[in-house]
Amino acid sequence: MVHIVGAGPGDPELITVKGHKLLSEADVVIYAGSLINPEILKICKPDADIYNSAEMTLEEVINVIKKAESDGKMTVRLHTGDPSIYGAIQEQMDELDELKIEFDIVPGVSSFLAAAAALRKEYTLPGITQTIILTRRGGVTPVPDKESLKKLGQSQATICIFLSISSIKEVVRDLMSAGYKSLTPAAVVYKATWEDEKIIRGTLSTIAEQVKVEGIGRTAIIIVGQCLSTQKGNYAQSQLYSPQFSHMFRTAKL
């Protein structure tokens, strides 16, 4: 059996209870070494066979799993954050399906959620935005033209940009050409929940320079949107907790 597990954003305590249990029992662990906090591997059994997939091809990963299966061993395939976001898991699952190897998926805390916690912000503020866009700039993997930042940015929703910190200048340029004002709040969270986490807050016009000064070139997420600069009184309060509002679990208190 293979378990595809989300390791969370970095803090070893942010893997789920289920993920932790599986990792502590695994005979074979294949982890995404470019981003996973090595501290998390301390959860593994001392005699587990541990592979760093950053140094492997898809075929090599599948071969390790195939061998483990034929030896009757349990494998954890460990991905950073949540495996469904830029995890390249579909191609692995398709191979496993073809080989009739059983697998399941344990979700994880994605870095865009760890970033909101680090920033102490709510991404979905009533009267400001009710939408979160998760995206990236095109790199080795291209982004379809109809999803370019220039187009997505037209919504002015909260936007979380993965895998793009090294081209933050271009991110800013594209968002501005989509209509974001230069004073739109922007933040970068580097290694959210790691011990060396860094938070940078600015605006679209300052953020690229701030990132350069801090020397941040990887493992960072860019967040842009009005939700970052709200203060009490400049967004609508939720109906859910309003005394005037009744719903299934509570009647109005007026």
Which residue in the set 187, 189, 216, 228 belongs to the binding site for ligand SAH (CB under 6 A)? 189
Segment interacting with ligand SAH (CB under 6 A) among 19-27, 120-128, 198-206, 219-227: 219-227
Q: What stretches of the chain adopt beta strand conformation (E)?
A: 2-6, 28-31, 49-52, 75-79, 103-106, 132-136, 158-162, 185-190, 198-203, 220-224
Q: DSSP code of 1?
A: -
- In sequence order, the β-bridge partners of residue 133 are 159
> Which token pair is 243?
């005394």
Q: Which of residues 89-128 bind ligand SAH (CB under 6 A)?
A: 110-111, 114-115
Burial profile 207-226: b = 16 or more Cβ within 10 angstroms, e = fewer: bbebbeeeebeebbbbbbbb
The mark string for 39-78 relative to ligand SAH (x by CB under 6 A, - otherwise) is ----------------------------------------
Give 20 or 68: the residue with its C-beta nearer to ligand SAH. 20
Helix axes 58-70, 90-98, angle to 10 degrees: 40
CA 185 from chain centre, in angstroms, equals: 20
CB of 175 to ligand SAH, least distance (A): 16
Residue whose Cβ sits closest to ligand SAH: 81
According to DSSP, the β-strands at 158-162 and 132-136 are: parallel
Segment interacting with ligand SAH (CB under 6 A) among 51-59, 64-72, 89-97, 217-225: 217-225
Give 34 or 237: the residue with its C-beta nearer to ligand SAH. 34
Give 192 or 224: the residue with its C-beta nearer to ligand SAH. 192
Total residues at the site for ligand SAH (CB under 6 A)? 24
Asked if 85 touches ligand SAH (CB under 6 A), the answer is yes
Residue 28: phi, psi to the nearest 5?
-130, 130
Asked if 219 touches ligand SAH (CB under 6 A), the answer is yes
Q: Which residues bind ligand SAH (CB under 6 A)?
A: 9-10, 35, 79-82, 85-87, 110-111, 114-115, 162-163, 189, 191-194, 219-221
